């Protein structure tokens, strides 16, 4: 079975899709993040092209790693395109927020620079996804799961704990034998409590009991944004630290081959359109598992790294290949936090704005790795996709031949 995966050319953001094959007319489709802070045209074009490949099929699940614009700005567009084909997104995995006021402030912050109508539509959409009072979930989304909610906590785990879950495939797709593992770390409780306190002070100054009573004019929105950024920074233990990581791989023992390819979009064309030029980067036979690590903007710590190591199968007696999305668009700080695991992967992906390649940490990353390792940049001009062909071969017979 030929399974297809792609990092789409969206610039400074991330849009990753996977399609698992089950016969000629039956696929399992999933998405990890869909956003950019580059020109929205790149993302809209990528969404259009992706929806065409669905062949009027549903998206089985969508994972939102964290609520930053460069990872979510296309979610609403993707939803609308799928809905226009009378199809659904069966399940969305969203980051959990422990307080509705914090969530409202964050969504206001993410949508504040939009035009009035766009702002209203997007706020209604996101408030509906999170079940904010007075808003309902959009039609065409069957189920919503919050990653890291209070009910997930297990006994004996510290307050800043990691939530791990295995995504079960629908019964109809059990024969795919594909493993999905997600884990994320909750927002630091001290940050959450201090933010709630300042939001309460804001409400008191406005003589309001709920944020729904506040007039969201420019002055109030800017004040709320400052309050949020003061307590929940992007960096360590902030939004990035709570990114949901997705690891996926075939459970089948024998993989006949994996091929990587990079598409180049020639932006010098007079009409500024994208023309595909396909380059074959590598084509290797492999006996074992192909493991993909999608990390969003995560800032690793020792606890997260331990989970990364223990969440994948042992490579003993197997020639496993590992594909790793370098977090936060190649940020030096995020890369250095990968620590001792830097050399554990075979293929590295950085998703970033094309003009940022000189500013990025790419040379340092390459210098940190042996020559045999591949670092690939996904920009507005380059996508990266790979196919994994899985063959079901009796493990005992294979080992003895």
| Rounded average pLDDT over 63-92 | 94
Residue 120: is its pLDDT beyond 60?
yes
Residue from 95, 104, 25 nearest 62 by CA: 95
Q: Say which DSSP state 118 is in.
A: H
Are 172 and 305 part of one and the same domain?
yes
Are 289 and 270 part of one and the same domain?
yes
Residue 285: is its pLDDT beyond 60?
no
Are 142 and 279 part of one and the same domain?
no
| Rounded average pLDDT over 333-344 | 91
Are 180 and 74 part of one and the same domain?
yes
Residue 281: is its pLDDT beyond 50?
no
> Measured between alpha carbons, how far is 390 from 255 in angstroms, rounded to an integer?
5
If you average pLDDT over every residue of the chain, what do you get?
Answer: 81
Are 156 and 216 part of one and the same domain?
no
- The whole domain housing 112 covers 97-147+188-231
Are 195 and 261 part of one and the same domain?
no
| Rounded average pLDDT over 291-309 | 90
> Measured between alpha carbons, how far is 43 from 72 in angstroms, rounded to an integer?
11
Are 366 and 378 part of one and the same domain?
yes
pLDDT of res. 275: 34
What digits encode the pLDDT tens for the residues 30-77? Answer: 999 999 999 999 999 999 999 999 977 899 999 999 999 999 999 999
Number of domains forming the structure of the chain: 2
Are 390 and 252 part of one and the same domain?
yes
Residue 125: is its pLDDT beyond 90?
yes
Which domain-ending residue is among 231, 262, 283? 231
What digits encode the pLDDT tens for the residues 155-212? Answer: 334 445 566 666 666 665 666 778 898 888 877 788 889 999 999 999 999 999 889 8
The pTM for the full model equals 0.89
Report strand pairing: 13-21 vs 27-36.
Answer: antiparallel
For the chain, the maximum distance between any two Cα atoms, rounded to a whole number of angstroms, is 78
Are 36 and 152 part of one and the same domain?
yes
Are 246 and 338 part of one and the same domain?
yes
Which domain-ending residue is among 175, 205, 231? 231
Q: Percent of the chain beyond pLDDT 70?
A: 76
> Measured between alpha carbons, how far is 112 from 201 in angstroms, rounded to an integer?
21
Cβ pair 374, 346 in contact under 8 A: yes
C-alpha to C-alpha distances, 278 to 160, 260, 271, 310, 382, nearest whole angstrom: 45, 11, 20, 36, 10
Are 361 and 256 part of one and the same domain?
yes
| Rounded average pLDDT over 138-143 | 92
Q: Where residue 8 sits, what CATH number does that domain have?
A: 3.60.15
Which domain-ending residue is among 231, 266, 300? 231
Residue 362: is its pLDDT beyond 90?
no
Are 139 and 162 part of one and the same domain?
no
| Rounded average pLDDT over 322-338 | 92
């Amino acid at each position: 079975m030929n399974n297809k995966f792609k990092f789409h050319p969206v610039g400074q953001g991330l849009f990753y899709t996977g399609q698992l094959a089950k016969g000629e007319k039956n696929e399992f489709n999933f998405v990890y993040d869909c956003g950019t802070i580059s020109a929205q045209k790149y993302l809209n074009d990528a969404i259009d092209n992706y929806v065409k490949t669905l062949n009027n099929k549903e998206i089985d699940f969508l994972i939102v790693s964290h609520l930053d614009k460069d990872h979510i700005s296309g979610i609403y567009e993707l939803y609308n395109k799928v809905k226009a084909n009378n199809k659904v997104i069966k399940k969305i995995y969203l980051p959990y927020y422990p307080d509705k006021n914090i969530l409202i402030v964050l969504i206001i912050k993410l949508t504040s620079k939009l035009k009035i109508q766009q702002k209203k539509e997007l706020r209604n959409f996101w408030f509906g996804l999170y079940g904010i009072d007075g808003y309902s979930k959009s039609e065409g989304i069957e189920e919503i799961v919050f990653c890291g909610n209070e009910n997930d906590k297990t006994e004996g785990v510290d307050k800043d704990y990691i939530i791990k879950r295995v995504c079960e495939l629908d019964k109809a797709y059990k024969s795919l034998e594909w493993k999905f593992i997600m884990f994320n770390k909750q927002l630091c409780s001290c940050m959450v409590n201090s933010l709630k306190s300042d939001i309460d002070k804001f409400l008191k100054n406005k003589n309001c009991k709920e944020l729904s009573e506040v007039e969201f004019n420019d002055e109030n929105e800017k004040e709320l944004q400052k309050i949020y950024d003061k307590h929940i920074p992007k960096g360590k233990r902030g939004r990035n630290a709570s990114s949901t990581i997705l690891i996926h791989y075939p459970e089948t023992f024998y993989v006949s081959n994996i091929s990587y390819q990079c598409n180049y979009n020639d932006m010098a064309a007079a009409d500024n359109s994208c023309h595909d030029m396909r380059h074959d980067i590598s084509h290797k036979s492999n006996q074992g598992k192909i493991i993909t690590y999608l990390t969003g903007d995560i800032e690793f710590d020792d606890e997260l790294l331990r989970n990364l190591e223990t969440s994948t199968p042992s490579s003993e007696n197997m020639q496993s290949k590992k594909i790793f999305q370098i977090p936060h668009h190649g940020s030096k700080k995020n890369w250095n936090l990968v620590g001792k695991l830097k050399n554990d992967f075979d293929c590295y992906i950085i998703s970033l704005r094309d003009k940022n390649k000189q500013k990025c940490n790419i040379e340092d990353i390459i210098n940190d790795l042996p020559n045999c390792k591949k670092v690939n940049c996904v920009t507005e001009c380059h996508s990266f996709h790979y196919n994994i062909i899985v063959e079901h071969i009796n493990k005992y017979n294979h080992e003895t031949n």
